[in-house]
């Protein structure tokens, strides 16, 4: 009977876990819908704005804005690692951390040895890992995902832009998950600064823009706006990817719990049947003994 009780206790435990994972899947799906809507609405605007800035950025603008295109020698590099604040989302955080580690070791290993590589961790999981492993984490931000919107992302983006303009960093790279669909997230390491102008292609056709009031004024307005938008886009991509990964992970956990429950119920019935058979044999044996 002890085996029967153990199986029954395990069935209750798995059933309780199944209810929790199912509820978490529904919550993640609800948050994913909002995050997916936000990134899909922002992405066409952000991509077209980036394309426009890169195309006309080779021209003359105000000195402060054109400094964002300045391609300096790699002396001090900042890597912005975007993870989540919570777990239970499969390999979402582990993949970002692994990708950032690979980037550091393969591309910026010499700068890391010289102490010229810094990390900016957005999200608790990345901050905990890199801090505990002794990496040069210069700043952490674990609150931005509590209420993610453009206004809350602005101070971080402006800080990164100022660090580049002041010469504190010669290059800023962002590592995050690009949202493709709820089941697929693509790891990317994207150069945030300096901006890369598109090389002119001599194909006999040249796009002729009319600037009002003038090109310099438009660039002075659009370049900072574009950088803030690109940073916000990266955060939205990561946020949507997190909930997609969590929804997928909880769906798989729920499915696994369902399969385990089937096996445990079958085992319970077998143990119960064996117990009943054993009791019947004892009764029959006792009756035969009394007859004798």
Q: Which of 89, 100, 193, 227 is catalytic?
A: 89
As for how many domains the chain has, the answer is 1
**CA count, 13 A, side-chain hemisphere, 238:** 28
Tokens representing 129 are: 């890992």
Give the model confidence (pLDDT) of 194-220 as tens digits.
988 765 444 445 567 777 777 778 888
Q: Is 89 a catalytic residue?
A: yes
Cα(122)–Cα(104) distance, integer angstroms: 17
Average pLDDT, the chain: 87
Reply yes or no on whether the pLDDT at 69 is more than 60. Answer: yes
Give the per-residue pLDDT at 201.
43
Asked whether residue 276 is domain-assigned, the answer is no
Residue 208 lies in a domain: no
**Has residue 128 been placed in a domain?**
yes
Domain membership of residue 74 (yes or no) is yes
| Least confidently predicted of 47-61, 71-85, 88-102, 258-272 | 47-61
- Let me know if residue 279 belongs to a domain: no
- 60 token code pair: 């003359």
**Any idea which of 44-58, 155-169, 229-243 has the lowest mean pLDDT?**
44-58
User: Residue 144 sits in a domain of what CATH number?
Assistant: 3.40.1380.10
C-alpha distances (whole Å) from 12 to each of 2, 4, 61, 103, 278 are 16, 13, 68, 45, 25
Q: Does 80 map to a domain?
A: yes
The model's pTM:
0.85
* Secondary structure in 3-state letters for 78-126: EEEEECCCCCCCCCHHHHHHHHHHHHHHHCCHHHHHCCCEEEEEECHHH
Q: How far apart are CA 242 and CA 237, in angstroms?
A: 9
Higher pLDDT, 161 or 65: 161
Query: Would residue 147 count as lying in a domain?
Result: yes
Query: Which residue, among 129, 128, 112, has the nearest Cα to 173 in the 3D structure?
Result: 112
Does residue 247 register a pLDDT over 90?
Answer: yes
Supply the range of the domain harboring residue 191.
21-198+220-250
Taking the CA atoms of the chain, what radius of gyration do you get in angstroms? 29
CB 194 within 8 A of CB 69: yes
In a domain, 6, yes or no: no
């Amino acid at each position: 009977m002890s085996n029967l009780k153990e199986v029954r206790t395990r069935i209750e435990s798995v059933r309780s876990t199944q209810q929790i994972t199912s509820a978490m899947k529904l919550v993640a799906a609800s948050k994913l819908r909002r995050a997916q809507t936000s990134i899909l609405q922002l992405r066409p605007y952000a991509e077209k704005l980036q394309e426009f800035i890169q195309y006309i950025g080779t021209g003359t603008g105000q000195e402060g804005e054109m400094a964002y295109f300045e391609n300096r020698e790699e002396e001090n590099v900042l890597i912005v690692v975007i993870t989540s604040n919570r777990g239970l989302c499969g390999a979402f955080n582990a993949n970002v951390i692994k990708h950032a580690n690979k980037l550091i070791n393969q591309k910026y290993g010499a700068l890391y040895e010289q102490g010229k590589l810094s990390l900016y961790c957005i999200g608790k999981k990345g901050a905990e890992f890199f801090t505990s492993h002794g990496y040069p984490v210069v700043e952490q931000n674990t609150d931005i995902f509590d209420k993610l919107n453009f206004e809350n992302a602005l101070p971080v983006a402006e800080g990164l832009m100022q660090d580049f303009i002041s010469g504190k960093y010669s290059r800023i790279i962002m590592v995050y998950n690009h949202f493709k669909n709820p089941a697929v997230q693509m790891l990317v390491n994207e150069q945030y600064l300096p901006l890369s102008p598109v090389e002119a292609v001599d194909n006999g056709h040249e796009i002729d823009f009319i600037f009002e009031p003038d090109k310099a004024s438009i660039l002075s307005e659009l370049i900072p706006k574009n950088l803030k938008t690109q940073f916000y886009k990266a955060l939205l991509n990561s946020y949507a990817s997190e909930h997609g990964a969590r929804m997928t992970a909880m769906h798989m956990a729920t499915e696994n719990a369902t399969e385990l429950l089937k096996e445990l119920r079958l085992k319970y019935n077998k143990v119960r049947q064996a117990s009943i058979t054993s009791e019947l044999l004892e009764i029959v044996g006792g009756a035969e003994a009394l007859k004798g």
